[in-house]
């Protein structure tokens, strides 16, 4: 499985859950996969056909999405095609029937229309799975119900022994149940991953509609548009799309547009140009939602409150799919909150209307919350969060101003209560502001003691206060038919009961910019725009590296144009960045870079090596720099500026170790330091970063620290005897050579439930047993003898062990031979271990 992953996708490690899902599919089991956007669900159905050599059928809702996926798969040497009304190549149908594709995409309509003879022929050739992508579309409870999905159960009776796999990024328990039932999944293997997109930074700002804000937005976008990476601006109306697009054009920012009132052809062209980096900014309505699989989108900006939190998660999820830190920013105005009626017009039943109202209200609460936004999102999707603050959203990183709002809160809540608690927010606010509208006079609310007491503050200020009181559970929203009403909840009643008109106990609330109402609020909005969209720290390359990177981006663009494909399909930004930092001089070295697959190497390898050599020479950069090892899981947005929980020294040590792949020894003696520090201190820093929630490659840490299974077990035994409160008694229980830092790492692993059993076998093997016996007779290294011998070690072998075994050949000739084999993609090297492909 790993060699298939490297050969076709260029990756050396599966992301969490991928491998077990593939294994279950290979065993013929049905699966339900609920994992975050951008977490790598597609790979789960893309790997089995490459192993079984049978076709995978993938049902996908959008033609544009299928076309993009097919384009990207072809660049990986995978035989992929799609069947739909948009397919112009007549041969595809016949080839598909004959099983000549690894992966065959089709729309649900097409799948249900295909004749029984098509399926029976294809079954004869072999079908390894049927995957239903965006499977939440099957459920009326999902936020994107599509009636065509409902008929997919028909296929179950045709494809009797084929495993069915439902995949989605958003599914409540009810929707999950619906997917299982509708697809008739048989005792499925269910995977529910975290919804957390760790590399995304979330922020929200309120804004006032008008030219001033549009100018600000355009300045902000121009700051990020010329850097590598794209931006999507989602608007709630076509009018907004056109207005922003016009403003960008005026500022000479190349942008595209996408909305439902454009013709199909213009929309497709716009989509294609964006995917192919012909412009970097797309202004769109949510019609440009699910179908976007471009990995290097760095900013997703919402201009207006989205219609539901589910759709916000989907749309913002288009950002940073390659794992590089990226930004999701939402701008809202209070008038957006009055659009419930508009959204409810899509509903057919009362239950649907209620569901729409509720998820729109959740999106509004997301806008106005003053606590951790990540936690808010995750808890909305039913996840329990152990953290109170993520450190990577505006609310966790901005300093907050709190103020005693007892008097104002008393007025508002008492007014709501006096009005009977069954109105929306507008009426009590109008009463407070002294309105004499007919509605108020008819209800005699002008006689209330609160009438006019709040006239010094604008209506929006009172509404902002109400949202803070909702966020803090003093006020409760309820939904009746089309109406949202507001009443004082138990916590609010407790507060009111302890108040009288002259005295109110303190009630501290975090002040949002709308509540601040002085010049600082304006600054907070204005400055925040550009600052928060500054380029992620991830992109900080030295000046020469940066130049090389940009030149390679250009080279990739040329290759893409010549081959009629998108640049990202040739290779991702992250891979290009690794190439920039390592500047390989041979195919073997290029092959070893994470993200480089066999097709890329064969098709573009020579050209790229020649470019790297030429450009590096021009820039005075040496070739074959130390390789950068990176974790296959997306890097946490903790790498963004704003992580205040670690000191810069600790954070930097962690970053160099985890993200740059430096050894602890190298970090301790890094030339940039005024004086070297102890290696043990570096280990301590890395451990502390882990306690602050930064991810660690634990097996690499054990390897560097010499923490073997045996030592780990001994530490556990010692802890069970003397407890883990103090280190000294544990140390006393252990052999002299076990160090304190080994104990600390052992304890941390235990705390996190990581056992040595979970550490990758290849490294365990290296830690525990000497792998290779030195032969008694001289053995010569030839291509065949090396390949045959390597086949015995599925977890890989170190160069020193290879040299020990092939003691009949010189070191130089063995290294040459290995290099050739790497270039041929017959073996590959990862973390100094040589493995057979």
Ligand X SMILES: Nc1ncnc2c1ncn2[C@@H]1O[C@H](COP(=O)(O)OP(=O)(O)OP(=O)(O)O)[C@@H](O)[C@H]1O
Out of 37, 203, 230, 762, the residue judged to bind ligand X by CB under 6 A: 37
Q: Which residue, 40 or 48, has its beta carbon nearer to ligand X?
A: 40
**At closest approach, how far in Å is the CB of 760 from ligand X?**
14
**At closest approach, how far in Å is the CB of 802 from ligand X?**
27
By CB under 6 A, tell whether 297 contacts ligand X.
no
By CB under 6 A, tell whether 6 contacts ligand X.
no
**At closest approach, how far in Å is the CB of 247 from ligand X?**
29
Phi, psi (degrees; rounded to nearest 5) at 621: -100, 140
How many whole angstroms separate alpha carbon 143 and alpha carbon 360?
11
Q: Which listed range, 11-19, 144-152, 719-727, 744-752, lies at the site for ligand X (CB under 6 A)?
A: 11-19
Q: Which residue, 40 or 99, has its beta carbon nearer to ligand X?
A: 40
By CB under 6 A, tell whether 294 contacts ligand X.
no
How many whole angstroms separate alpha carbon 406 and alpha carbon 509?
9
- 503-525 burial string, b = 16+ CB within 10 Å, else e? ebeebebbbbbbbbeeeebeebb
**At closest approach, how far in Å is the CB of 321 from ligand X?**
4
Out of 421, 424, 526, 632, the residue judged to bind ligand X by CB under 6 A: 632
How many whole angstroms separate alpha carbon 163 and alpha carbon 26?
9
Residue among 314, 274, 312 at smallest CA distance from 296: 274
Q: Which residue, 9 or 258, has its beta carbon nearer to ligand X?
A: 9
Beta carbons within 8 Å of 317's beta carbon, 6+ residues apart: 36, 37, 38, 169, 197
Do 11 and 632 contact (CB within 8 A), yes or no?
yes
Count of residues interacting with ligand X (CB under 6 A): 20
Out of 7, 277, 293, 430, the residue judged to bind ligand X by CB under 6 A: 293
Q: Which listed range, 183-191, 316-324, 675-683, 778-786, lies at the site for ligand X (CB under 6 A)?
A: 316-324
By CB under 6 A, tell whether 336 contacts ligand X.
no
How many whole angstroms separate alpha carbon 706 and alpha carbon 751?
19
By CB under 6 A, tell whether 698 contacts ligand X.
no
**At closest approach, how far in Å is the CB of 381 from ligand X?**
13
**At closest approach, how far in Å is the CB of 566 from ligand X?**
12
Q: Which residue, 62 or 787, has its beta carbon nearer to ligand X?
A: 62
Out of 295, 320, 492, 627, the residue judged to bind ligand X by CB under 6 A: 295
Residue among 712, 322, 350 at smallest CA distance from 539: 322
Do 312 and 363 contact (CB within 8 A), yes or no?
yes
By CB under 6 A, tell whether 43 contacts ligand X.
yes
Residue among 442, 385, 52 at smallest CA distance from 198: 385
By CB under 6 A, tell whether 746 contacts ligand X.
no
Q: Is 28 left (phi over 0), alpha (psi -120 to 50) or beta?
A: left
**At closest approach, how far in Å is the CB of 67 from ligand X?**
15
Out of 21, 24, 39, 127, the residue judged to bind ligand X by CB under 6 A: 39
**At closest approach, how far in Å is the CB of 12 from ligand X?**
8
Tell me the C-alpha to C-alpha distance, in Å, between residue 253 and each of 221, 230, 245, 419, 765: 8, 12, 9, 51, 55
Q: Which listed range, 40-48, 148-156, 486-494, 580-588, lies at the site for ligand X (CB under 6 A)?
A: 40-48
Q: Which residue, 65 or 427, has its beta carbon nearer to ligand X?
A: 65
By CB under 6 A, tell whether 697 contacts ligand X.
no
By CB under 6 A, tell whether 322 contacts ligand X.
yes
User: Roughly how many angstroms between the first and final C-alpha of the chain, as a whole number?
Assistant: 10
By CB under 6 A, tell whether 14 contacts ligand X.
yes
Instruction: Give the strand pairing for 475-480 and 402-404.
Output: unpaired
Name the residue with tokens 């993609």. 825
**At closest approach, how far in Å is the CB of 416 from ligand X?**
41
**At closest approach, how far in Å is the CB of 448 from ligand X?**
51
By CB under 6 A, tell whether 42 contacts ligand X.
yes
**DSSP 3-state helix, strand, coil percentages of the chain (rounded to 5)?**
50, 10, 35
Identify the H or E element spanning 129. Answer: strand 127-132
Q: Which listed range, 8-16, 329-337, 722-730, 774-782, lies at the site for ligand X (CB under 6 A)?
A: 8-16
Q: Which residue, 57 or 781, has its beta carbon nearer to ligand X?
A: 57
**At closest approach, how far in Å is the CB of 39 from ligand X?**
4
Within a 10 A sphere around the Cβ of 51, how many other Cβ atoms? 14
Tell me the C-alpha to C-alpha distance, in Å, between residue 129 and each of 161, 165, 168, 535, 748: 9, 7, 16, 41, 40
Do 404 and 508 contact (CB within 8 A), yes or no?
yes
**CA angle centred on 382, ends 381 and 384, rounded to 5°:** 120
By CB under 6 A, tell whether 801 contacts ligand X.
no
Name the residue with tokens 């294809």. 122
**At closest approach, how far in Å is the CB of 769 from ligand X?**
28
**At closest approach, how far in Å is the CB of 106 from ligand X?**
17
How many whole angstroms separate alpha carbon 393 and alpha carbon 369?
12
Out of 6, 15, 299, 307, the residue judged to bind ligand X by CB under 6 A: 15
Residues paired with 500 in a beta bridge: 503
Contact residues: ligand X, CB under 6 A:
11, 13-15, 18, 35, 37-43, 169, 293, 295, 317, 321-322, 632
């Amino acid at each position: 499985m790993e060699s298939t992953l490297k050969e076709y996708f260029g990756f050396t490690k599966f992301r969490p859950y991928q491998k077990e899902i593939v294994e279950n599919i290979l065993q013929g089991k049905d699966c339900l996969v609920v994992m975050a956007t951008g977490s790598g669900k597609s790979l789960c159905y893309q790997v089995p056909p490459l192993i079984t050599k049978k076709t995978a059928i993938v049902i996908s809702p959008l033609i544009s999405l299928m076309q993009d996926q097919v384009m990207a798969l072809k660049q990986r040497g995978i035989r992929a095609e799609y069947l739909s009304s948009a397919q112009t190549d007549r041969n595809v149908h016949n080839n598909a029937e004959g099983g000549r594709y690894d992966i065959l995409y089709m729309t649900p309509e097409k799948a249900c229309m295909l004749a029984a003879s098509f399926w029976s022929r294809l079954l004869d050739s072999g079908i390894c799975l049927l995957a239903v992508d965006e499977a939440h579309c099957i459920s009326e409870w999902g936020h994107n119900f599509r009636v065509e999905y409902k008929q997919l159960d028909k296929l179950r009776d045709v494809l009797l022994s084929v495993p069915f796999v439902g995949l989605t990024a958003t599914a409540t328990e009810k929707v999950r149940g619906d997917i299982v039932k509708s697809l008739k999944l048989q005792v499925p293997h269910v995977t529910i991953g975290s919804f957390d997109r760790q590399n995304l930074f979330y922020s929200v700002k309120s804004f006032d509609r008008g030219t001033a804000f549009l100018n600000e937005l355009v300045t902000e976008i121009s700051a990020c548009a010329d850097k590598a990476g794209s931006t999507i601006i989602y608007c709630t109306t076509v009018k907004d799309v056109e207005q922003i697009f016009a403003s960008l054009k005026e500022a000479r920012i190349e942008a595209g547009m996408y909305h439902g009132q454009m013709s199909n052809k213009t929309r497709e062209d716009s989509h294609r140009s964006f995917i192919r980096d012909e412009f970097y900014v797309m202004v769109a309505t949510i019609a440009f939602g699910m179908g976007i699989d471009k990995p290097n989108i760095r900013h997703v900006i919402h201009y207006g409150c989205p219609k539901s939190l589910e759709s916000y998660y989907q749309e913002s999820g288009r950002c940073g799919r390659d794992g590089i830190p990226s930004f999701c920013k939402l701008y809202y105005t209070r008038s957006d909150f009055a659009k419930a009626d508009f959204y409810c017009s899509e509903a057919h039943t009362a239950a649907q209307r209620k569901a729409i109202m509720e998820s729109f209200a959740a999106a509004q609460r997301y806008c106005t919350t003053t606590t951790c936004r990540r936690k808010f999102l995750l808890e909305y999707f039913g996840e329990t969060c152990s953290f109170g603050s993520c450190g990577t959203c505006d609310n966790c990183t901005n300093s907050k101003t709190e103020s005693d709002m007892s008097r104002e809160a008393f007025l508002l809540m008492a007014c709501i209560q006096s009005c009977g608690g069954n109105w929306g927010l507008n009426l009590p606010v109008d009463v407070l502001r002294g309105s004499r509208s007919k509605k108020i006079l008819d209800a005699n609310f002008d006689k209330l003691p609160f009438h006019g007491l709040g006239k010094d503050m604008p209506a929006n200020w009172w509404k902002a206060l109400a949202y803070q009181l909702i966020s803090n559970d003093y006020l409760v929203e309820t939904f009746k038919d089309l109406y949202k009403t507001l009443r004082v909840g138990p916590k609010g009643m407790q507060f009111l009961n302890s108040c009288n008109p002259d005295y109110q106990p303190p009630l501290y609330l975090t002040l949002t910019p709308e509540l601040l109402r002085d010049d600082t609020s304006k600054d907070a909005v204005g400055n925040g725009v550009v600052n928060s969209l500054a380029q992620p720290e991830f992109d900080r390359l030295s000046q020469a590296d940066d130049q090389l990177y940009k030149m390679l981006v250009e080279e990739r663009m040329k290759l893409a144009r010549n081959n009629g494909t998108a640049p990202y399909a040739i290779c991702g930004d992250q891979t290009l960045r690794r190439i920039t930092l390592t500047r390989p001089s041979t195919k073997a070295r290029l092959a070893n870079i994470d993200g480089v697959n066999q097709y890329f190497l064969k098709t573009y390898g020579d050209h790229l090596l020649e470019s790297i050599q030429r450009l590096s020479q021009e820039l005075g950069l040496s070739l074959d720099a130390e390789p950068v090892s990176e974790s296959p899981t997306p890097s946490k947005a903790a790498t963004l500026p704003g992580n205040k929980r670690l000191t810069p020294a600790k954070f930097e040590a962690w970053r160099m170790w985890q993200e740059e792949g430096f050894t602890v020894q190298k970090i301790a003696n890094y030339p940039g330091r005024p004086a070297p520090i102890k290696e043990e201190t570096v280990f301590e820093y890395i451990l502390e970063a882990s306690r602050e929630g930064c991810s660690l490659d634990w097996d690499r840490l054990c390897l560097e620290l010499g923490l073997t299974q045996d030592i780990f077990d001994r530490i556990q035994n010692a802890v069970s005897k003397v407890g883990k409160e103090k280190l000294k008694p544990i140390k006393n229980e252990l052999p002299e050579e076990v160090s304190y830092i080994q104990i600390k790492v052992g304890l941390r692993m235990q705390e996190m439930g990581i056992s040595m059993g979970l550490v990758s076998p290849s490294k365990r093997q290296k830690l525990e047993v000497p792998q290779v016996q030195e032969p008694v007779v001289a053995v010569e290294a030839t291509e065949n003898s090396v390949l045959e011998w390597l086949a015995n070690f599925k977890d890989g072998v170190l160069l020193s062990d290879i040299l020990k075994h092939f003691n009949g050949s010189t070191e130089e000739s063995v290294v040459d031979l290995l290099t050739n084999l790497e270039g041929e993609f017959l073996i590959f090297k990862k973390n100094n271990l040589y493995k057979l492909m």
